[in-house]
Amino acid sequence: MIASGSNMSDAILEMVRPAISRMDEQVKNTRKSQLYLANNIDQISAKLKGLVDEQLLPYDLDVYVRKLDESRKRINGIGQRLQTLQKAIATEISDAKFAIIKMHRVSIYAKLRVKYSRRANCSPRVARPWRPRVIAWAGPDAFSRDRFYELDSWYKARIQKPELLPKLHVIDPDLIVDNYVDKIRSRKERTIDIGFKKNEIVPNKMTEEAKNNLEELAVMNQLLIDLDAVESSNQLGLAEHFSVFEDLFMPGVFFHNVQFVEVIFGGSDSREKMLFGNTIRASTAARPPVVTIERPQPGTNALTTMLLLNLEGPGQQQAVEDGMTNETSWQVKPPGSVPPSSAQDQLLARLENRQLLHWMVANIPDGRDGVDAGHEVVPYLQPVPFYGTGYHRFAFLLFRHRQPIDVSDFALKGSDSLIARTFNTNAFYKQFEDRMSPSALRFCQIKWDESCDQTLHGLGFKSPRYWYEWNKQMTPDQKEYPMKAMPFHYYLDMFRNPETVRREVQRKRLEKLVKLKPGEKLEPEPYPDIDYMKNWSEKPFFEHERLMKENVGEGVWAALYNDYENPMEQHDMAKYRRTKETEPVDKGQAANVA
């Protein structure tokens, strides 16, 4: 690469030195010719002068004149050759200058150079590695006004990456969505109403003056509505949305709420009412609720039977008591991942369409607001959804009948276990179908809290822990240049050995434990990074991000603090111990034991 200044003149001299030497040679030859011609001309002039003096014949004079003309023509030819030579030398010098300027050409973006910036004035000449010769269109952004990432950085055009579209599959909607005829036919199919006739809402007749007063209050935003007195018009739709009818009885049945019932959990400090799908805390439902039942018609002497059911309970309760009470957790695998055993198949078949009965009071006479006048068949049990099972649906169901019914077969009979509370609502209704009909329904959702563990411990059971065992994450083949751009440390972590990661975390945990004082526990830092600005400027971004996750215990670093225990590892260790206990002892070991 040729630099500017004095080096440029030296380069020009080196390039034109051969031309200058040739020109010097030709100039020397020309000077010799000129001297020779000059001598001839001088001699001719002297002879002419002598002829004039001697008065010679004109013939001799013509000879000398012709020789003089020839000498003049030679001199003119030499002059033309000198001019041609000068033009050639000038052309070679200009070509040399152009070549040097071409080697040191100014960048086309030099006009955009900002004063006092670090941008070069010309395009650098560097040895770049070989790359595929691909003609790529940089897009219109390469010519936009903001085509530079930063003004003080080297020029980089914004290249538009090609859009990678996934493989498209043709989906026939006729194979997935029902056509119009099937849709209309399914709407015409009516489900079975197993309850009473729906109450007709008779609108109150209001005078024009009262309507005007209500309209005036509504315009002034002063109209108050008693929400407790307003019944939801979509009660049936809410129950169908949560599949309450289908899981209580069977698909295709429903009933209307024709009897008012109010169920309130909690005491004076915290009161929560069961409505249609609302959430209630399990600790609030530790005691039996306050139940208010309406008498449908005055003068009637009918009876009511009340049920409180857990729609998600039976399978889990059976698993806890049926040979799994020695474990603190039960593995729930996704459908289709691992084929279930025959014992699990029998368990699911036996518990299909069953619920867990938490409370049952039968033969409650009319005219009493509470349920104390009825016969308590099954005592109240606080809702105990297990940890990790999510929200459980709890249904409060009323049956209306004229004559007392005998429900002694559904009593616990001295056993207060969870298995004894397994209940089949559909079979119960089928047994007394001719004498009673459902009249009211309320349901809510409850999830686990600490009070559930206390209740289970009081019954003599352990509190199990459920978790979902996800399938192994599908990772693409590792490539040097992946198609989908992502941070490199995230990409490399996808292919790390989990055992290596676990050992790294445990090593870090031991390092922290060594530095602790007696009686202290490992706790996460109050701030992700107290020296944020310093570490942000000195550390690479991936190390800084890892430091902050380690300080707060996020991701794989959650095993550092608060005596973290992974239920998956506990379950694997318990399975490993059981496998070791059931392994047959070989003959060598048996001989040693004997």
The per-residue pLDDT for range 74-111, each reduced to its tens digit, is 776 776 777 777 777 777 767 766 665 555 555 555 55
Same domain? 448 vs 331? yes
Mean per-residue pLDDT, 152-174: 61
Confidence class of residue 466 from pLDDT cuts 50, 70 and 90? confident
Asked if residue 200 is part of any domain, the answer here is no
Same domain? 388 vs 495? no
Spatial separation of the C-alpha atoms in residues 195 and 439, rounded to whole Å: 6
Spatial separation of the C-alpha atoms in residues 101 and 460, rounded to whole Å: 95
Residue 146 has pLDDT above 90, yes or no: no
Last residue of a domain, one of 88, 103, 118: 103
Same domain? 269 vs 312? yes
Residue 309 has pLDDT above 90, yes or no: yes
Same domain? 304 vs 430? yes
What's the chain's Rg over C-alpha atoms? 51
Same domain? 503 vs 449? no
Last residue of a domain, one of 103, 121, 138: 103
Confidence class of residue 118 from pLDDT cuts 50, 70 and 90? low
Same domain? 414 vs 284? yes
Last residue of a domain, one of 103, 125, 151: 103
Asked if residue 583 is part of any domain, the answer here is no
What CATH number is associated with residue 261?
3.90.280.10
Same domain? 446 vs 537? no
Confidence class of residue 53 from pLDDT cuts 50, 70 and 90? low
Residue 467 has pLDDT above 60, yes or no: yes
Same domain? 536 vs 449? no
Same domain? 276 vs 369? yes
Which residues have a Cβ under 8 Å from the Cβ of 3 and sit 6 or more positions away?
104
pTM: 0.53
Asked if residue 521 is part of any domain, the answer here is yes
85/320: higher pLDDT: 85
Same domain? 253 vs 394? yes
Same domain? 413 vs 542? no
Confidence class of residue 460 from pLDDT cuts 50, 70 and 90? confident
Residue 587: predicted pLDDT: 42
Of the listed ranges 208-212, 225-229, 284-288, 574-578, the least confidently predicted one is 574-578
Q: Give me the number of domains the chain comprises.
A: 3
* 3 state SS of 466: strand
CB–CB of 542/489 below 8 Å? Answer: yes
The per-residue pLDDT for range 134-144, each reduced to its tens digit, is 555 555 555 55
Residue 147 has pLDDT above 50, yes or no: no
Of the listed ranges 265-279, 429-443, 461-475, the least confidently predicted one is 461-475
Residue 554: predicted pLDDT: 86
Asked if residue 116 is part of any domain, the answer here is no
Asked if residue 44 is part of any domain, the answer here is yes
Asked if residue 592 is part of any domain, the answer here is no
Asked if residue 204 is part of any domain, the answer here is no
* 3 state SS of 439: strand
Listed ranges 321-330, 371-380, 416-425; the one with the highest mean pLDDT: 371-380
Residue 477: predicted pLDDT: 86
* 3 state SS of 527: coil
Asked if residue 194 is part of any domain, the answer here is no
Name which of 262, 267, 268, 266 is nearest 281 in CA terms. Answer: 266
Residue 199: predicted pLDDT: 73
Residue 149: predicted pLDDT: 42
Residue 109: predicted pLDDT: 56
DSSP string, 285-338: GGSPPEEEE--SSTT---EEEEEEEETT-HHHHHHHHSS-TTSSEEEEPPTTTS
Domain boundaries, position 495: 488-563
The per-residue pLDDT for range 536-572, each reduced to its tens digit, is 999 988 899 999 999 988 888 888 886 655 555 555 6
What CATH number is associated with residue 68?
1.20.58
122/241: higher pLDDT: 241
**281-285 contacts at long range (C-beta below 8 A, 24 or more positions apart):** 281/446, 281/449, 282/382, 282/383, 282/384, 282/385, 282/446, 282/447, 282/448, 282/449, 282/451, 282/452, 283/449, 283/450, 283/451, 285/382, 285/383, 285/446
Same domain? 267 vs 331? yes
Mean per-residue pLDDT, 149-175: 59
CB–CB of 155/143 below 8 Å? Answer: no
